[in-house]
Amino acid sequence: MLKLRQSAYSLIELLVTVSILGVLLGVMLPGMNEFLKNERLTTQINSLLSHLQYARSEAILRLQPVTVCASRDAASCSGAWREGWIVTVSNPDNSISVLKARSALKGNTQLSSTLAGGVIFDQNGYAPDSRGVFSLCDERGAEFAKSLSISSSGRVRSGGDVACH
């Protein structure tokens, strides 16, 4: 006669496994929250960097000034940087064309700038009147903030004096 051998986990083995899993999750979840916040800041500052670099290359390509400005409605230069921004070029009839737009930032982040208005790249890619710093902060403050600096030569780089409010 063939004997069937049953194999199963005992209650003690199951409880030990669940306990170990609980401890691992308890250790990993707080770190995951910080990771997600850091990734959100990185993604948002990279989006601004991408738009600024695009505007500079379009100014050189079109041989005319291109502007990046804060925009709450994705159609005009109005509002705060956190509400979104647009890349625009002026048309011969003095109207503006929106080349690219970015909607409002998600999460509890604040984007501020030392620039009074928008960033204007001239036909050579320079930004002589747009030298300044963008600061992107969340509730953790300046220690975790990201920033972009714009030089008068039009170069945009990561880093600069962070100003979190």
Using 70 as the pLDDT threshold, list the residues of the chain that sit under it: 1-4, 6, 165
- The verdict on residue 163 lying in a domain is no
CA–CA gap between residue 141 and residue 55 (Å, rounded): 29
Structural domain range at position 101: 11-158
Phi, psi of 135 (to 5 degrees): -120, 130
In the beta sheet, which residues pair with residue 120? 67
- The verdict on residue 164 lying in a domain is no
- The verdict on residue 141 lying in a domain is yes
Q: Give the distance between the most distant pair of CA atoms in the chain.
A: 97
Structure tokens at 68: 């990046």
Looking only at the bridges linking them, the beta strands covering 132-138 and 146-150 are antiparallel
CB neighbours of residue 140 within 10 Å: 14
- The verdict on residue 50 lying in a domain is yes
Structure tokens at 26: 């308890």
The number of folded domains in the chain is 1
pLDDT of 116 reads 76
Contact 137, 162 (CB under 8 A): yes
pLDDT of 95 reads 83
Contact 136, 149 (CB under 8 A): no
Half-sphere exposure of 22 (CA within 13 A, CB side): 6
pTM value surpassing 0.75: yes
- The verdict on residue 6 lying in a domain is no
pLDDT of 8 reads 76
Lookup result for tokens 């109005």: 78
- The verdict on residue 165 lying in a domain is no
CA–CA gap between residue 97 and residue 77 (Å, rounded): 12
CB neighbours of residue 45 within 10 Å: 20
- The verdict on residue 16 lying in a domain is yes
Contact 41, 74 (CB under 8 A): no
Q: What is the CATH number of the domain that holds 54?
A: 3.55.40.10
- The verdict on residue 139 lying in a domain is yes
pLDDT of 62 reads 93
Structure tokens at 66: 């291109």
